[in-house]
A and B are shown apart, each in its own frame.
Chain A
């Protein structure tokens, strides 16, 4: 929720000199509990944005600054990605802290869409974990160059060099150490910087005093060896550095340039070390952000020009070009809709008149602000390449704003389909209004959260990416809207498909006085990988051309609800190759009805089957519980793909139907003494076993009966 704190943080920015070279838009993403939020908290502290450090689950009960939502503080997880801004060595850094749970993946997608660089936080004990792989895939989808930060080097079992190897083997990075640890686990004292060849110790109560000394003698040869590797890798991307290396004249500046070039080309991943919790290594990471991650002008962004054959137009991060900006996130607060904007070209000033290129609507810019978690600062403009927010703009997430009426649009984000639903009902009339308000707001804010109504039972269904995703929204309805709600059992988003080719030949004929209805549609349907395809192979005009689109519409209507189990249908190719019409009685409506009849006829013969969402479930557990975990997955119709032994823990990868995963976290907790954790993400739709299909059919009949009563 947004809170305006006018005394402390709401001030008018007097001047805002702007230089994109000294600007960074970065995101921090990682596996759950790798320490993203703790790291962000330290970054804010060292950049003097906050004056006290509060830990995620700290004893003071305040919670980390970026986890401003009550629910986030209580659960110790990040739910929404919070944006903040800080300054380090004259560099302006916009940071987005993203959630680690896969259920909130859209928040990560949104953040990565508008960021220029990323920090991949990895746990020095856990290494590259399942969610690190997902986050890494997302980063490469948006081509975001990154730095790896191996956190928690103070923990038992920490091994940052192993994590570096995992980055190479598991994620295919070319990871190179930029630092070496001085001591590890309980003895972790500081780092050796391989670029400056100095030892750095972080002293003072909060590690704010850096003591830079010579490298301890016993570590010198190791440091030289790793520096050699670093120079070798970086010199591939800098001729000057290669030359200097040959002459043994490598300077710090040359090495930084080489590492920077390679990082920007996504050919090298610099690996930094530290322990955010113990205040070690964070300032060096901030230096690395300014040194190795790109400024907005170094990233080539494109927009699509709808007026010019959908051509890609390169955007330039310069203030004097026409404005192109993207609304990447919406948030509803007490003062109306807050729209997060990234300006890619030009500048966005207060009182400017801008256009929404999707709707063509003219908009006058009101308040322009910069976010710091739940607090905001009024600014006069959002400079080119920067991130800010606008108040009172009516738009959808993903809309592009331009300064002229040009049809430019930024490429859209990847939005996954929801896989789980549950029914929700307000307990009383007062709550009903509140629930409806909340649902309207949440659907606008989160494209992976959908609201539908079951036409038979009249229930309101909310759909999302996982149990936790929906649980969080229900909890928010209760807390933020003080609404009493009753939620039903989670429902799985089943689908149906056909498994063999079948023919249809259906005549729709009605003669009830007055103008009749006549249409015959013949052809076949067959399974396919895509959702739906309609092919017209009519020759000789047996169905007149003007009725073909009605036929297609009729078939398409049927895809929404199957005539057998009533789930949405997918994977059908419909081909029509014959038909008949009547000069008087044929109409668009008649052919649409004929197509619906033909579909039902063909569908029942095409051996329909129910598909269920199957999730990729990865459990990370201490080895002694491996047997128990495997058994728990096996009992849930899970197919165990394999297990991976990593020493202090092992991970088990499996595919489990979503329907069997409800309440799994409790089961896992009790069978592993709370020591295991799991991640779950959608993998594919697979046919359900016959026995389950029968059960579903019975359930369907029962719910229909109940609805009638």
Chain B
């Protein structure tokens, strides 16, 4: 990774994870449908994978082969921004070695099963996640306990979890601009990255209590749909 902007972004993401992983940190990528939440989660996962950190990608909406395609697609976009002809096969091998995908069919996700699956991996020395990304878990009344239980699990494993959270065009909380459904569980989240389309740019609003040397200014590149520092 030899691009300054990418380095800066990677630094921000690393600081977030390192700061909060022991507390079972939670992060949310908030955006409207179709704006690219999955793509952003995959970008976050890839930055960790490039650093040889193990990432568990949990998808509640797409099968394994589609998740793999997301990784192919986003890594190609990252290559393009880095102006490298291709990510070397060694790096790609590293990505594959450190990535594990777990998908759940419709209504098949519950924390008990997830915990079981996760411990199947860790107890047998097959895979220890250092970062978990969860794509497609709806934040609603029924799922409040699911988020609470996942928080406990994250703490137990000292791992940071990123979630994709869908917001609706007109439904925004008066106080925080967050989707109202997120409000009951806001306390669980240590950081949010909210995609806010403006007239000529797509801003990424970073909300966190984590201190940074200089406040990060993030935007979404409309060409690649990747986050970058302005």
Contact = CB atoms under 8 A, between A and B. Distances in A.
B105 A647 contact: yes
A162 B113 CA distance: 21
A644 B106 contact: no
A671 interface: no
Given A627-B124, A634-B126, A645 B106 contact: no
B120 A642 contact: no
B108 A645 contact: yes
Interface string A631-646: 1001000011111111
B127 interface: yes
A634 B97 CA distance: 12
Nearest to B124: A631
B121 interface: yes
A623 interface: yes
B153 interface: no
Interface string A641-661: 111111100000100000000
Contact of B64 (A162, A644, A647): A644
Given A634-B124, A645-B103, A639 B108 contact: no
Contacts, number: 65
Contacts of A653: 64
B102 interface: yes
A415 to B, nearest CB: 25
Contact of B101 (A170, A626, A631, A642): A642
A634 B67 CA distance: 21
A644 to B, nearest CB: 5
Contacts of B126: 630-631, 634, 640
Interface string B113-127: 100010011011111
Nearest to A618: B64
Contact of B100 (A133, A642, A646): A642
A630 B125 CA distance: 10
A75 interface: no
Given A162-B106, A165-B106, A645 B124 contact: no
Contacts of A430: none
Contacts of A646: 105, 108
A170 B124 contact: no
A48 interface: no
A169 interface: yes
Interface string B175-197: 00000000000000000000000
B97 A641 contact: no
Nearest to B125: A634
B104 interface: yes
Interface in B47-91: 57, 62-68
Contacts of A170: 63, 65
A639 B125 CA distance: 13
B96 interface: yes
B97 A639 contact: yes
Contacts of A133: 65
A642 B102 CA distance: 5
A200 to B, nearest CB: 29
Interface in A84-135: 133
A642 B56 CA distance: 9
A505 to B, nearest CB: 29
Contacts of B63: 169-170, 644
B124 A640 contact: no
Contacts of A630: 120-121, 124, 126
Contacts of A640: 100, 126-127
Contacts of B64: 641-644, 653
Contacts of A644: 63-64, 102-105
Contacts of A162: 105-106
A645 B100 contact: no
Contacts of A631: 124, 126
A647 to B, nearest CB: 6
Contacts of B105: 162, 644-647
Contacts of A165: 106
A643 B108 contact: no
Interface in B153-168: none
A645 B105 CA distance: 6
A171 to B, nearest CB: 10
A645 B113 contact: yes
B55 to A, nearest CB: 12
B120 A626 contact: yes
Contacts of B106: 162, 165
Nearest to A630: B126
Nearest to B63: A170
A647 B68 contact: no
Nearest to B93: A686
A653 to B, nearest CB: 5
6 contacts: A626-B120, A630-B120, A640-B126, A643-B102, A644-B63, A644-B103
A-B interface, 8 closest residue pairs, ranked by CB to CB distance from nearest: A642-B101, A627-B120, A642-B64, A645-B104, A645-B108, A644-B103, A631-B124, A646-B105
Given A169-B62, A644-B102, A647-B105, 5 more contacts: A169-B63, A641-B100, A643-B103, A645-B102, A645-B117
